[in-house]
Amino acid sequence: MKVIRFAVSLPEDLLETFDKIISKKNYPSRSEAIRDLIRANFIEQEWTEGNKEVIGTISIVYDHDTRELLDKLMDFQHHHHSFIISSTHIHLDNHNCLEVIIVKGKGKDIKDMADKLISIRGVKHGKLSTTSTGKELS
C-alpha cells in the first residue's frame, strides 16, 4: 500500500490539545492517531449510511430472577438470529447477568434491533458498540 505524506495546518493550541490527548492514549505518533481518527470517522459514516454491512456488539445487563424477561430475551434473539453471530452470558452475582451479543448486518437493521432489545422492560442497561468488518479499512 502506497503511503502519502501531507501537511496539515492547525491552530497552535488545538495541536497542543491533540498532542496531550494522544500522549495520554499512548499513541506512538501523530500519524497513527490521525489514521485512527479517520478510520473512526469512516466507520461512523458506514453506520450512518445504514445499508453497509457492519459489525457490532450489544451488551445488556439484567436480573435473571424475572423469568418472563429471560423468555422474552430468548425469543427476541431467536427472532433476530440472522443478525446474531454469537453471544456470551456471564453470571455477575446472584441476580445480575451480563450478555454480550455479537451482531452483523446492515447498519440500520442492527441499530433498530439494538434499540428494541435495550428497551425491553427489565433490561437495566444496554449499549451498542459499533465497529467495522474491516474490509474497507487499511
Given the rule CB under 5 A, which residues bind Ni ion? 64, 91, 97
* Shortest Å, Cβ 119 to Ni ion: 20
Q: Which of 54, 48, 62 is nearest to 104 (CA)?
A: 54
Q: What is the DSSP letter of 33?
A: H
In the complex with Ni ion, the residue whose CB is nearer, 91 or 116, is 91
In the complex with Ni ion, the residue whose CB is nearer, 60 or 114, is 60
In the complex with Ni ion, the residue whose CB is nearer, 66 or 130, is 66
* Shortest Å, Cβ 129 to Ni ion: 21
Residue nearest to Ni ion (CB): 97
* Shortest Å, Cβ 64 to Ni ion: 5
SS3 per residue for 39-100 = HHHHHHHHHHHCCCEEEEEEEEEEECCCHHHHHHHHHHHHHCHHHEEEEEEEECCCCEEEEE
